[in-house]
Structure 1
Amino acid sequence: MDSLINSTHSSMPKKAVMPLFKGRPDPLLQDALKQVSPEAQAKAKKTSTDFEAMFLNSMFSQMTTGLKGEGPFGDTPGTGPWRSMLTDEYSKNFAKAGGVGISNEVFRTLILQQANRAG
């Protein structure tokens, strides 16, 4: 949720801040977050990050399918599995670092759906 919610300086006391959606305050998400338990929010955040990592893995895999020869693995019989594992780790780390914004949209949608079911 770090990228969805405004950050405050660490020495300042924590206060309620308005979540942002496309760079603007999002009162709809703020109300929905009040209706959804912290455990459900954490699960939604993990699910949305995992979804973005899966998407990025697919994208990175397509980008590297035609690579042959030079590079960290060269052109050996074991290149495929190692490149696949490297691509998987790249996508997970990229998603954890903020990714391309897909996880924010998925998180928002999951929270709004859960709030609608609760309300």
Structure 2
Amino acid sequence: MSVIPTNTTPMINGRPDLALTEALKKVSPQAQQKAKSASQDFEAVFLNSMFQQMFAEVKGEGPFGATEGTGPWRSMLTDEYAKGISRSGGVGISDDVFRTLIIQQAARAS
């Protein structure tokens, strides 16, 4: 089963992405799934790093406060936020990473 449905054309900047369309034909569905998973993981790591920086200086009570013991919980919370956002569509980083991975794999297969 293809990661990109065969009845839809991948789009980039509002136009059909012909390079990705051709590359998907050369890459196995298993490799596509692996690339999709890796690109989502990459985006989650990026978002986690961004969230950690964002909440580093937050003071006060609650899960993002600066009380004793919030450090480990905060890191787990930001990690789960990042994974959740990435799984639900993310901010677009994983799409670009996926496109790059697939085009590179197709070039190696040729």
Q: So what's the TM-score if we normalise by structure 2? A: 0.91
Runs of 4+ in 1 over 3 A off after TM superposition: none
Is the CA contact (8 Å cut-off) linking 2:55 and 2:64 kept in structure 1? Answer: no
Which letter does structure 1 place at the counterpart of 2:42?
F
- How do 1:7-18 and structure 2 match up within 5 A? 16-18=7-9
Which one is further off, 68-77 or 54-63? Answer: 68-77
**In the alignment, which residue of structure 2 is the partner of 1:33?**
24
Extract unaligned runs of 5+ from structure 2. none
Partner of residue 77 from structure 1, selected from 60, 68, 72 = 68
Which one is further off, 25-34 or 72-81? Answer: 72-81
Structure 1, residues 61-88: CA drift from partner, whole Å, max 9, x if none? 0000001212236443211000000000
Q: Matched residue pairs, number? A: 109
Among all aligned residue pairs of Structure 1 and Structure 2, give the percentage whose two residues are the same amino acid.
64
Which letter does structure 2 place at the counterpart of 1:68?
K
Extract unaligned runs of 5+ from structure 1. 6-13
Matched, 1:62 2:53: yes
Structure 1, residues 8-46: CA drift from partner, whole Å, max 9, x if none? xxxxxx862211112210111001000000000000000
Matched, 1:86 2:77: yes
Partner of residue 86 from structure 2, selected from 90, 95, 98 = 95
Q: So what's the TM-score if we normalise by structure 1? A: 0.84
Pairwise CA RMSD of aligned residues? 1.8
Which letter does structure 1 place at the counterpart of 2:11?
L
